[in-house]
Amino acid sequence: MNQELLTQTLRTVQREREAMLFDVSFAWVQRLITEEGEEQLTERLDAAIPHTWPWEVVADLVGILVGMTRDNGAAIFRSAEGWLREGTNLRRIQIVLAQHRYPFFHDPAAMERILSGIAQRFPAVADRCADLITSRKRVKD
């Protein structure tokens, strides 16, 4: 992973996050995708991004990536759902739960079971898990 490119991308996302307007970030993320490729990108980014970066910045990076990958984030969400199934890394869980998409969308029972377990283990995300479970029940497949 090109650490210099990754750091500049994260800095740009962080700066634009503060303004709540992502503009230049898209160009940096596209460059990251072009240079690094999409294959196992979520896992490679997770391994390459130091934990000193706030999870919120990483979550925004992932959110931008979702819309820019060839598969519209399908591979990203497969990895993300794996992180939730694993349910042991709060940082990863926070990154996934910050996305604007229901995890396990086509399996609401699994979503409820997994998020309920996460909520019990990690009180910091319990409200977000409850919100997702409640709002998912209102969505029809």
pLDDT tens readout for residues 60-119? 999 999 989 999 999 999 999 999 999 999 999 999 999 999 999 889 999 999 999 999
Burial zone of 129 (CB within 10 Å; 0-12 exposed, 13-18 middle, 19+ buried): buried
**139 and 106 co-located in one domain:** yes
**Per-residue confidence (pLDDT) for residue 84, from 0 to 100:** 98
What gap in Å lies between CA 28 and CA 115, rounded to an integer?
32
Question: Would the pLDDT of 141 be above 80?
Answer: no
As for how many domains the chain has, the answer is: 2
What gap in Å lies between CA 49 and CA 69, rounded to an integer?
19
Dihedral (C-alpha) 132, 134, 140, 141: value to the nearest 10 degrees?
40
**80 and 133 co-located in one domain:** no
Q: How far is CA 51 from the centre of its chain?
A: 15
Query: Other CB atoms closer than 10 Å to residue 87's CB: what's the count?
Result: 16
Give CA separation, 6 vs 47, 86, 93, in Å.
12, 26, 21
**39 and 71 co-located in one domain:** yes
What pTM was computed for the model? Answer: 0.92
**78 and 21 co-located in one domain:** yes
Digit-coded pLDDT (tens) for 27-43: 999 999 999 999 999 99
Question: Would the pLDDT of 121 be above 80?
Answer: yes
**56 and 109 co-located in one domain:** no
Comparing CA positions, the residue from 37, 28, 30 lying closest to residue 10 is 28
Name the DSSP class of 106: T
**48 and 95 co-located in one domain:** yes
**46 and 111 co-located in one domain:** no
Contact indicator for 57, 92 with CB cutoff of 8 Å: no
**90 and 44 co-located in one domain:** yes
**82 and 106 co-located in one domain:** no
Supply the range of the domain harboring residue 106.
Answer: 102-141
Give CA separation, 52 vs 7, 49, 61, 104, in Å.
12, 8, 15, 29
**50 and 67 co-located in one domain:** yes
**15 and 71 co-located in one domain:** yes
**84 and 131 co-located in one domain:** no
